[in-house]
């Protein structure tokens, strides 16, 4: 199956999907690095709740790039 055969109902093109994928992976990497930093420096576990924002943004970007509609 070639990319031409795949029909997507999303309103973004290939460039937009690629941009969202890069955005999503970047924020997931930021979240992982921040999590590692919080664990290494033994901060209060409550601070890990702040990582919800980068992880949410990352998963949203990856989810949108895949085009589940």
> How does pLDDT run across 2-25, given as a tens digit for each residue?
555 556 555 778 888 899 999 999
Closest CA to 24 of 68, 69, 52, 59: 59
Structural domain count, the chain: 1
Residue 1 lies in a domain: no
Average pLDDT over residues 29-58: 95
In the block, tokens 């890990």 appear at: 48
Q: The domain containing residue 21 runs over which residues?
A: 14-63
Residue 6 lies in a domain: no
Residue 36 lies in a domain: yes
CA distance 2 to 53: 35
User: Each residue of 44-62: pLDDT tens digit?
Assistant: 999 999 999 999 999 999 9
CA distance 27 to 54: 5
Structure pTM? 0.77
């Amino acid at each position: 199956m070639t990319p031409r055969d795949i029909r997507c109902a999303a309103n973004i093109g290939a460039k937009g999907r690629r941009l969202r994928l890069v955005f999503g992976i970047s924020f997931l990497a930021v979240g992982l690095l921040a999590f590692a930093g919080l664990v290494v420096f033994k901060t209060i576990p409550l601070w890990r709740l702040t990582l919800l924002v980068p992880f949410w943004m990352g998963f949203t970007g990856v989810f949108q790039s895949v085009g589940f509609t």
